[in-house]
Amino acid sequence: MKFVHIADMHFDAPFTSLNSKENLGDKRRLEQRNVFKKIIDFIKENEIEYFFIAGDLYEQEYVKKSTIEYISRQFKEIPNTKIFITPGNHDPFLQNSYYNTYNFGDNVNIFHNSQVERYEDDNVNIYGMAFTEFYMQDSPLENIKLPYSNKPNILISHCDLDGSKDSEGLSYNPILESKLSLLGFDYIALGHVHKNNLENKNKIFYPGSTISLGFDELGEHGMIVGELTKENFEYAFIRLDDRKFEEIELSVDELLSKEDLIEKILELNLNEMNMYKIILEGKRNFEINTRELVRIISKDNIIKIKDCTRLNYDIEWLSKQNNLKGIFVREVLAKYEARLCTKEEFQKAIEIGLEVM
C-alpha cells in the first residue's frame, strides 16, 4: 500500500509574525492552498491509495467556510484515495466544527472520538483518535492492544511525543516514545510537532508542518511518502514549501552609525524566495531601533530584526569619571565585586543605566 502523510497545515492561520510586512500573511495563506494542491496532484499522478492527515488541518478559531469548501473540492479530485483525518488541538472535533457539520466527501474518514477507533480495510488496519477539545491531558494511546493480523497496522494521531505540560499546565495527548514503540504498529503517523524526525528508527514519524509558519520553524517543510507491506517499509520526504525561513547573524562591532548598519544589511546576498530574520550581535556604538530599521529597509523578505547587541563601553575608564555616570558605574561595580550580583546582572544594569543617562 502507498500512502502520503502530512500534518499541521493550519489553514487560515493568522501568521501574526508576518504582519510587519503588508499583505504577507495573505500571500502565505495563498501559498498554503498552492502547497495543498501540489499534494493532491502528487496523489493523483502516483495513484496513492491512502492519505493521512495527522491533525491541525485548519485553525478552528479562524477558518473560513470558503477554505473548507476549497479543501473539500481538492478531496473530490482524488476519489479513489482513502483519506483519514485525526483532528488535533487546533482543529478539534467539536459539536460546531466543520468536521461535524460539513460533508467532505465519501472518501474522507474523520476520527471523531477521543478514544482510539479502528478502521479495517482490505490492505491495512488503521487506528486513530480525535481531540474533542483544545487539549488532552491523558493519552489513550498506550492502552491499545493490537490483535494478530497479517495486514499492516497503522496508527494516526496528533500527539506530543515525550511531551510535558505547557506554561498553563495543559497537555496535548502526551505519550512516551518508548511506550508507543512497544505497541507493535508497522507505521505511526503523527502530527503536532512542526519539525520532522526523518531519522526515527521506530517507524514513528512527524512530517513537520507542511509549510513553515514562522521563524521558529526553520528548514525544509513538506510531506512523507511511503510504501508499506507487513514485511517491508520504504519512505521519502518531499519538500513542498518553496520558501524557507532563515536567520542570519550580523555583527555590529565595526559599525559606527545606523546608516552603516542599513548599508551592511542591504549588502547581504539573500534568496528572494526566502524570508529572513536578522539577528544583530556584538558591541554597538549607536542606538538601534529595530522597528525603524524594518520600515526603512526596502527588502520585503526581511521580516524581523532582533537586537542582541550590548553597548560598547569601557568600564575602567567610566569608573574614573568624576560625573554622574562615573558615580553610577562605581556603585554597580562595587556590588559586583562584593558578589551581590552576577556578571550578567552587572552588565545589564550598566547598560540600562548608561542608556538612561
CATH fold of the domain at 2-239: Purple Acid Phosphatase; chain A, domain 2 (3.60.21)
More confident residue, 202 or 60: 60
* Distance in angstroms (rounded) separating the CA atoms of residues 261 and 54: 44
Asked if residue 118 has pLDDT above 80, the reply is yes
Kindly state the helix (H) or strand (E) to which residue 155 belongs, with its residue range: strand 153-158
> What is the secondary structure of 116-151 as a DSSP string?
-EEEE-SS-EEEE---SSS-BSS-SGGG--PPP-SS
Half-sphere exposure of 72 (CA within 13 A, CB side): 14
pLDDT of 167 above 70: no
Rounded to 5 degrees, φ, ψ at 175 are: -155, 145
Kindly tell me if the per-residue pLDDT of 20 is higher than 70.
Answer: no
Highest mean pLDDT (candidates 2-6, 169-173, 293-297, 349-353): 2-6
Give yes or no for residue 76 having a pLDDT over 90.
yes
Kindly report the CA angle at 84 between 81 and 90, in degrees rounded to 5? Answer: 135
Q: Which of 124-138, 165-179, 211-225 has the lowest mean pLDDT?
A: 165-179
How far apart CA 161 and CA 175 sit, in angstroms, is: 5
pTM greater than the 0.75 cutoff: yes
123, 85, 48: which is closest to 40 by C-alpha? 48
| pLDDT for 350 | 83
In the numeric block, which cell numbers belong to residue 151? 495486514
Q: Nearest 5°: phi and psi at 249?
A: -90, 135
List of residues 6+ apart from 158 with CB closer than 8 A:
7, 54, 55, 56, 86, 87, 88, 89, 131, 172, 173, 190, 191, 192
Above 70 in pLDDT, residue 137?
Answer: yes
Which residue ranges make up each domain of the chain? 2-239, 245-311, 315-356
What is the distance between the alpha carbons of residues 213 and 193, in angstroms, rounded to a whole number?
12
Residues 219-239: pLDDT tens digits?
A: 899 999 999 998 899 999 999
* Gap between the Cα atoms of 172 and 174, Å rounded: 6
**Rounded CA separation 197/12 (Å):** 25
Instruction: State the alpha helices, DSSP H only, in the chain.
Output: 24-45, 65-76, 98-101, 177-180, 258-266, 290-296, 315-319, 324-337, 343-356
Residue 166 pLDDT > 80: no
pLDDT in tens, 177-205: 999 999 999 999 999 999 999 988 889 99
Closest by CA to 300, choosing from 16, 12, 20, is 20
Check pLDDT > 90 for residue 73. Answer: yes
